[in-house]
Amino acid sequence: MTTTNPDLQLNHRPGHIKHDGHNLTGFIIFLCSESIIFLAFFSGFALLKITAPEWLPEGVEGLETRLPLINTVVLVSSSFVAYFAERYLHKENLWGFRALWLLTMAMGTYFVYGQYVEWSELPFSLSSGVFGGTFYLLTGFHGLHVITGILLMSLMLYRSFLPNNYAKGEMGVTAVSLFWHFVDVIWIILYILIYVWQRTT
């Protein structure tokens, strides 16, 4: 655009607004918001459990904790692996990044498989009262997040093979690994609520 009056343009310093780098901000805001859904489910679970006249459905003694504990250890450790993968990327060691990143994905996949095994052996279903409903809702909703995380990670892995992809920083990897830590923290709370806190008053 041109101005016809050159006097006005004299000494004029045009201001600028950055056009990029918002993605991480946006993603963090989204994660905070997402955590509220889990908060809602957790508080609903606690409230239902405290006030229910009969918590466990007939014929159910409680939940087996050994397999889920192994699963928990795998998932939580995968967060550390993801962290070191990210460190490699910072040091521009692409192959180190890819290897550890793939390991994280494998651990996540193992977790999903473990969940599948547990689900298929349980003596109750989604419609077995509030107990069954909340169990499948919480673990299922979390499982969806794990699967989403794995899909996002494979996208990042694919992108690591594109030339010059990390020239402008590795926002995508940072975001995905943040998401992965988030999914982990959620699982720890969920594990305590569902598996550790089994006794009802």
Partner 1 sequence: MTSTNYDPRVLKALHPVPGAPDNWKRFFTFNTDAKVIGIQYIALALFFLLVGGLLAMVMRGELITPPADLVDPTVYNGLYTMHGTVMLFLFLFPILNGFNNLLIPTMIGAPDMAFPKVNAAAFWIVPVFGVVLLASFFVPGGPASAGWWSYPPVSIQNPLGHFINGEFLWILAVALSGVSSIMGAVNFVTTIIRMRAPGMGFFRMPVFVWTAWAAQTLQLIGLPALTGGAIMLLFDLSFGTSFFRPEGGGDPVLYQHFFWFYSHPAVYVMVLPVFGIFSELITVYSRKPLFGYKFVALASFVITFLGLIVWVHHMFYSGTPQWMRNIFIVTTMLIAVPTGVKVFAWLGTLWGGKIRLTTPMLFVLGGLVNFILGGITGIMLGTAPVDIHVGNTYFVVAHFHYVIFNTIGFGIFAGIYHWFPKFTGRMYYEGLGKVHFLLTFIGATLNWLPLHWAGLYGMPRRVASYDPEFAIWNVVASIGAFMVGVAAIPFILNIVSSWARGAKAPPNPWNAIGLEWLLPSPPPAENFEDDVPTVISAPYGYGLGQPLVEDEEYYVRRALEA
Partner 2 sequence: MTSTTPRPSGGLPVRLLLIVLAATLLDALASLQIARASLGWLPVPASTAAPYVDQLFQLEVGIGAFIFLGCSGFVLWAVLFNRAEKYDESDGLPIEGNTKLEITWTLIPFVIVMVLAYQAIHVSETLSALGPKAKYDLEGGSNPVSVEQLDPIRNYGPIQVISRQWNWEFIYPNGVRSSELHLPIDQRANFQLSSEDVIHGFYVPAFRLKQDIIPGSVISYSITPTREGRYRLRDSQFSGAYFSQNQTDVVVQSQEAFAAWLEQAARNPLVPGLSPATQLYQDRLSKGDKGWATVKPAPPPLVNDPGIPDAPHEA
In angstroms, the Cα distances linking 195 to 62, 68, 145 are 9, 8, 19
Question: Residue 151 binds what, of partner 2, partner 1, none (CB under 5 to 8 Å, by partner type)?
Answer: none
Cα separation, 139 vs 190, whole angstroms: 8
* Those residues with Cβ within 8 angstroms of residue 120's Cβ, 6 or more apart along the chain or in another chain: none
CB of 103 to partner 1, least distance (A): 31
Backbone phi, psi, residue 19, to 5°: -100, -15
Among 24, 27, 34, 52, binds partner 2 (CB under 8 A): 52
Q: Which is nearer to partner 2, 4 or 127 (CB)?
A: 127
Under the binding rule (CB under 8 A), the answer on residue 6 touching partner 2 is: no
Q: Tell me which residues touch partner 1 (CB under 8 A).
A: 1, 3-5, 8-9, 11-19, 21-23, 25-26, 29-30, 32-37, 39-41, 44, 47-48, 51-55, 126-127, 129-134, 137, 141
Q: Which is nearer to partner 1, 15 or 59 (CB)?
A: 15
Tell me which residues in 12-51 interact with partner 2 (CB under 8 A): 51
* Those residues with Cβ within 8 angstroms of residue 81's Cβ, 6 or more apart along the chain or in another chain: 100, 103, 104, 107
- Are 184 and 104 in contact by the 8 Å Cβ rule? The answer is no
Cα separation, 22 vs 19, whole angstroms: 8
Two tokens at 104?
């994280």
Q: Which is nearer to partner 1, 80 or 140 (CB)?
A: 140
CB of 114 to partner 2, least distance (A): 33
Instruction: Please report, as ranges, the residues that interact with partner 2 according to CB under 8 A.
Output: 51-54
